[in-house]
Chain A
Amino acid sequence: DTAVSQTPKYLVTQMGNDKSIKCEQNLGHDTMYWYKQDSKKFLKIMFSYNNKELIINETVPNRFSPKSPDKAHLNLHINSLELGDSAVYFCASSYRQNTEAFFGQGTRLTVV
């Protein structure tokens, strides 16, 4: 069984559209994250939720809005997509602070 699963794996969309990426973890973790990996492979945290509460919000445009309906899910909604949003987005989860994060397979978003 997949521990951290993201859907879709690939997403191609036009500028200006609104899209969502879903993430679910079945590890019983209480902390979930969204990371963005740019074209140069650089990974940067975007958001972190602990028990459905937002605890980290890096300098991400307001067009990005995470939503955590429960501890096992953290979805990412993006409004008014721009070309620069093209990247691979990774969802991750961890049991608590100071433990390793488990990553999903990533969602490759391409904005045309």
Chain B
Amino acid sequence: AQSVTQLDSQVPVFEEAPVELRCNYSSSVSVYLFWYVQYPNQGLQLLLKYLSGSTLVKGINGFEAEFNKSQTSFHLRKPSVHISDTAEYFCAVLQGGSEKLVFGKGTKLTVNP
């Protein structure tokens, strides 16, 4: 069964520092990869997605992620974070031919002044 591992449950950083949130997945077959953000008491919003093509994907709010097939990773990065980026971030994988989106356990990003 497909699984997603987000290696860090919590990531505290200072404002304007760079950040990387790590995500690894288990499947070796074709996959589609997503990062979602959940602000406090809100639903999930899509940050970015990888379906095919360029392995470097740019999303909203200055975030980007790189698909690395050999390392089965899809790490999320931002060069300079803002306090407003404080939220829970979820990596998710959709296996080709499946309709079941499998989520990681989430990484809580806290940006401090």
Contacts and interface: CB of A to CB of B under 8 A. Distances in A.
A29 to B, nearest CB: 12
A-side interface size class:
20 to 34
A31 B103 CA distance: 18
A105 B51 contact: no
Contacts, number: 54
Given A31-B99, A56-B100, A98-B96, A41 B43 contact: no
B97 A97 contact: yes
Interface stretch (A14-22, A44-52, A69-77): A44-52
Indicate the size class of the contact surface on chain B.
20 to 34
A5 B63 CA distance: 26
A34 interface: no
Chain B's interface: helix, strand, loop or mixed, by majority? strand
B51 A98 contact: yes
A100 interface: yes
Interface string B76-105: 000000000000101000101111111101
A104 B99 contact: no
Contacts of A42: 103, 105-106
A102 B46 CA distance: 8
